[in-house]
Homo-oligomer: A and B are copies of this chain.
């Protein structure tokens, strides 16, 4: 039996994502009603510029007073697609206090204040859903929170930023340098005018915090995530990667420590083998690789951004929240019961690929090898190339704590015979 009072959705923000959510809610109203079990209607849209023409949205729904909209009291679901911390945070908590559940696509806010938002939702018996905050349309939050709820996740490793993947893919396939590839990404609309949040890894770090928290049932905040951008990746790094049968991706990696007593979360460029499923993720696509005790290795792949894909994720959440309301229930809340601490980058166990410019004379390799040994880092392979008194030495290490690896690099820089460290890149996915 379908009830006749419609569920009411308020939209905060009507940009690329919000306008697509509004469009689909209108054009697919019958499907949504059938799937929810009740009609769902757009009850208000808060915008900054009310005079802008918004096709398909009745003018009487438009308001500039977002606070009044979330306080109306008859709203079932508030969809927050404004982004940023404020006023989004206050609007969301106000919505909970006035009896609405919230669907958000706001990764920055969730990475920073997820715990307090969950607490506010729980206090008022409301739902907080945010599938769209990580990897756009790719169903990821729900599989991690629900499908894998009976399993033990050990690692989540993903390409969660489309802009940087587009740039790195261009560098890989065309041999272009970073700035050339960035220019192309900007021209094609894949990179914003100020690409800092993407290329410096801030966007990916927010997603890593969210994923780590869900995967390990503990609280991981943005500040807990180690972050390195990809602006210093060079064409020479790609050439080195190719020699190793690898490519380079900007990865978000969330891991449970071997002893199970702590977790880590980090974002940095890394070499991964071409045979790894993430290596073939092209252009602006996203993909997340999950390793769990029982399930084994899973991968989720799809468009990580864009109005329509993000709207798809938002609408899936709207349907879920509406179904919950008809059931007079709520979905899963925060799960942080393990309270596992987040370790620093120094404790992460990884491998380094190091290119050194060295003097071409006898004894250099012995000197270099001694530095590795002193730091307890064992060497997997060494490649030497020399000519005219100059030489390069490429060392790939075995697995060791990042602190030992970075300590080794610092000590190498101090050797007289080492003229420079041409590149350092972590090697993952083996």
Contact = CB atoms under 8 A, between A and B. Distances in A.
Interface in A273-328: 277, 280, 292-303, 306, 308-309, 311-320, 323-324, 327-328
A312 B151 contact: yes
Interface in A125-142: 131, 137-139, 142
A9 to B, nearest CB: 11
Interface in A331-347: 332, 335, 337-338
Interface stretch (A31-39, A48-56, A411-419): A31-39
Given A217-B34, A319-B149, A294 B20 contact: yes
A329 B332 contact: no
A101 to B, nearest CB: 14
A322 to B, nearest CB: 10
A299 B301 contact: yes
A298 B150 contact: no
B308 A31 contact: no
A150 B139 CA distance: 12
Given A146-B316, A316-B151, A330-B327, A309 B337 contact: no
B150 A319 contact: yes
A152 interface: yes
B139 A316 contact: no
In the complex, the 4 A-B pairs of residues with the closest C-beta atoms, listed nearest first: A150-B315, A139-B147, A137-B295, A139-B143
Interface of A: 20, 24, 28, 31-32, 34-35, 131, 137-139, 142-143, 146-152, 217, 277, 280, 292-303, 306, 308-309, 311-320, 323-324, 327-330, 332, 335, 337-338
